[in-house]
Structure 1
């Protein structure tokens, strides 16, 4: 056996039956689909005809190294076979079972040009939903050697995604086989780990990443938010503070003070917000900076870091000039940031003080863009999102500071109740 891990019946069947032109493993995170697909890939390399290239594709060279090559070279996963995988970090080729394998990153549609002129016998695609459709189409066209195969893995996305609509839903018309995995399909995971991972996903992400469902982003983004649970009238003693700022000139500027309480919970402690349209007067960056310093001074707080909308270059320069504490660019990966906030709310880790009226007004009305969802894209509706963006900047940019506070399996706390 090529792997030292216990394999489920579904994994073994998928490996044995991955003989179609297109073979796709899709489903939940850590569900065993990657190990099964990599084992199938090793067998396919061993059987591949000498003519035609062998290609591994992913979002970038770095993701290929992390998601494909590092597991393949792990003796704990693949035993003695791991010694037959050779790669120098940063190189665009690797050696797998004595065959040269070409590594191609596909960050955007322009990457399709890297495939032109190639003749391939075998391709492995990591996280197929993250690749541009033109790249995928061109890759299939390059697989022209008799018996050529494509093997791909992916987590689910929108049900309108091109991979779902154009390929998985048309499996009966195409030379395509697919296997759907749920988290429970991985026999190598302990029940405690499964429970812990399940606790980290809520809402849309739980349905996709744990249940492995191709579901649309619809309705309220923070549907786990409940006023009775998440809104507080009193605050505990805080041990740490951070600020998130969403910058606006004609739109409102919103600042959220995020605190870590001595009780181990996160709190949106206070909010400063200025709406130039409502006030009928715009403020300059210097006036904003002075007002923010006055607000924090009145609270008697000096935050460790101030996370600012990365596009607000002029405001950032003003805050630096005025000596505002710890000014830095916020992490602005929108979907990852929303997931961080949703995780904190869902675990009962994040609370909002009742004085944050702008934030409390926006949270229930922060919804997915239905038109974008119909086109296969997850995107919030750009409406009334200034305070929720400020909260996202603070919570997501400090995720490494608070993830260890998430409730552990089997432990009941007031926060998780």
Structure 2
């Protein structure tokens, strides 16, 4: 009996996809096929489906690879959804992978699973002859790895399937491939915005839109490649978000500490008010100035403990977390010796900035007027224009000790407070 065609066999599953996804899958027939755009817009699922269909019929004379920033991120973003029958139906049974393993099998084919998180990563594919590759979060890869991957596509009909969120318009992927006329014959780009995913819950869409502001709204909702430039926290309104009187604090969330041996040491105290908003209730800062001495770690730690023993208007405070710059390992040891229980901060800079930005924009974070040094930094904290020219997002490294401490305190403890906040303003 004649077997049904691939299209007919999986037609019911295609009905779950948005029109934009279906059209992109049908048109993904170039040497490089890139899905780019907003978060949750359906681009990863569409690209993964197209990759599965390719693997099923790919040449057996070359190797297959799947690449992510790390194996864990590749599993979380792509392989785990591929193995979910609620998303991929009967296709899910054709993917066999143990998290962390260097290989998986798709339709019985061996596929190398590669993390490409540093300059040495290109050595992992050097010498390969590939029939196909899938790349997750392409903008997070280094350009030399991408260039090496292209040279490995040596089998006739070899293809790359890739997905990414937008980044800076000067990022190498945008400047040298998406916008490069000479690439058009061999490359197909599918661009998505959040509203392209017609199957999303409207409440979830509203949440995503409310949770991203400024730069992040343009990239993650509208799918635009825009540069990080100007003031980082331009949504902060000192006339409404600086308070002289704090509400009753129902929970002390965290202290964030940016330790400096020669630079200032800055700590900020975060509390959750009865009004279900977060407050920077107090700050501690020591900076070596004219005639003052650098503090030993023991003295710096002792001063932070003394501050927490007598926080103005609150007395002795011991928050749930004491979050410290992850590079200050020995200072963490000193704090522990002095009776605190520090934890290393999550130093994901851009994610942390996005969290602080969203809290400020939604009026879910307010700052006590006594935090004068932090308030100065919020007004002067800017994107680095030189980094932007190189296609990178990075804050200018000056006057940033308080804002770094704030980012540590909020990013690292997000799971503790995020479900307790009042709805966005």
Is 1:362 aligned to residue 377 of structure 2?
A: yes
Q: Tell me whether 172-181 or 261-270 shows the greater mean CA deviation.
A: 172-181
Instruction: State the partner residue of 1:74.
Output: 84
Once the 2 structures are TM-superposed, how far is the Cα of residue 279 of structure 1 from its aligned partner?
5.2
User: Which of 281, 300, 310 does residue 298 from structure 1 map onto?
Assistant: 310
Once the 2 structures are TM-superposed, how far is the Cα of residue 307 of structure 1 from its aligned partner?
1.1
Q: Using the alignment, how far apart are the partners of 1:68 and 1:380 within structure 2?
A: 30
Q: CA RMSD in A?
A: 1.6
Instruction: State the partner residue of 1:233.
Output: 244
Instruction: State the partner residue of 1:374.
Output: 389
**Contact in 1 for aligned 2:321/2:413 (Cα 8 Å):** no
Q: Which runs of 4+ in 1 moved over 6 A?
A: none
TM-score, scaled relative to structure 1: 0.94
Instruction: State the partner residue of 1:156.
Output: 166
**Contact in 2 for aligned 1:95/1:101 (Cα 8 Å):** yes
Matches within 5 A, 1:79-98: 79-98=89-108
Instruction: State the partner residue of 1:130.
Output: 140
Is 1:384 aligned to residue 399 of structure 2?
A: yes
Once the 2 structures are TM-superposed, how far is the Cα of residue 314 of structure 1 from its aligned partner?
3.1
Q: In structure 2, the residue corresponding to 1:136 is in which secondary structure? A: helix
Once the 2 structures are TM-superposed, how far is the Cα of residue 85 of structure 1 from its aligned partner?
1.4
Once the 2 structures are TM-superposed, how far is the Cα of residue 342 of structure 1 from its aligned partner?
1.1
Q: Tell me whether 2-11 or 177-186 shows the greater mean CA deviation.
A: 2-11
Distance 1:154 1:272, change over 3 A: same
Once the 2 structures are TM-superposed, how far is the Cα of residue 365 of structure 1 from its aligned partner?
0.4
Is 1:333 aligned to residue 333 of structure 2?
A: no
TM-score, scaled relative to structure 2: 0.93
User: Where do 5+ consecutive residues of structure 1 fail to align?
Assistant: 409-415
Distance 1:159 1:87, change over 3 A: same
Instruction: State the partner residue of 2:215.
Output: 204
Superposed CA offset, 1:110-142 (max 9, x none) = 111111221111111111111111111111111
Distance 1:30 1:5, change over 3 A: farther
Superposed CA offset, 1:208-246 (max 9, x none) = 111111110001111110012211110011122221111
Q: Using the alignment, how far apart are the partners of 1:314 and 1:278 within structure 2?
A: 27
**Contact in 1 for aligned 2:68/2:137 (Cα 8 Å):** yes
Q: In structure 1, the residue corresponding to 2:21 is in which secondary structure? A: helix
Q: Tell me whether 88-97 or 118-127 shows the greater mean CA deviation.
A: 88-97
Superposed CA offset, 1:304-335 (max 9, x none) = 22111122233222211121x32222222211
Is 1:342 aligned to residue 353 of structure 2?
A: no
Instruction: State the partner residue of 1:413.
Output: none
Matches within 5 A, 1:16-415: 16-174=26-184, 175-241=186-252, 242-278=254-290, 280-299=292-311, 300=315, 301-323=317-339, 325-406=340-421, 408=423
Q: Tell me whether 297-306 or 367-376 shows the greater mean CA deviation.
A: 297-306
Once the 2 structures are TM-superposed, how far is the Cα of residue 201 of structure 1 from its aligned partner?
1.4
Q: Tell me whether 363-372 or 382-391 shows the greater mean CA deviation.
A: 382-391
**Contact in 2 for aligned 1:337/1:395 (Cα 8 Å):** yes
Q: Using the alignment, how far apart are the partners of 1:172 and 1:250 within structure 2?
A: 50
What is the aligned length? 409
**Contact in 2 for aligned 1:347/1:406 (Cα 8 Å):** no
Instruction: State the partner residue of 1:412.
Output: none
Q: Using the alignment, how far apart are the partners of 1:97 and 1:295 within structure 2?
A: 61
Instruction: State the partner residue of 1:411.
Output: none
Q: Using the alignment, how far apart are the partners of 1:160 and 1:220 within structure 2?
A: 19
Once the 2 structures are TM-superposed, how far is the Cα of residue 396 of structure 1 from its aligned partner?
1.2
Q: In structure 2, the residue corresponding to 1:196 is in which secondary structure? A: helix
Q: Using the alignment, how far apart are the partners of 1:11 and 1:282 within structure 2?
A: 59
Q: In structure 2, the residue corresponding to 1:193 is in which secondary structure? A: helix
Superposed CA offset, 1:89-125 (max 9, x none) = 3322222123222212111121111112211111111
Q: Using the alignment, how far apart are the partners of 2:39 and 2:61 within structure 1?
A: 35
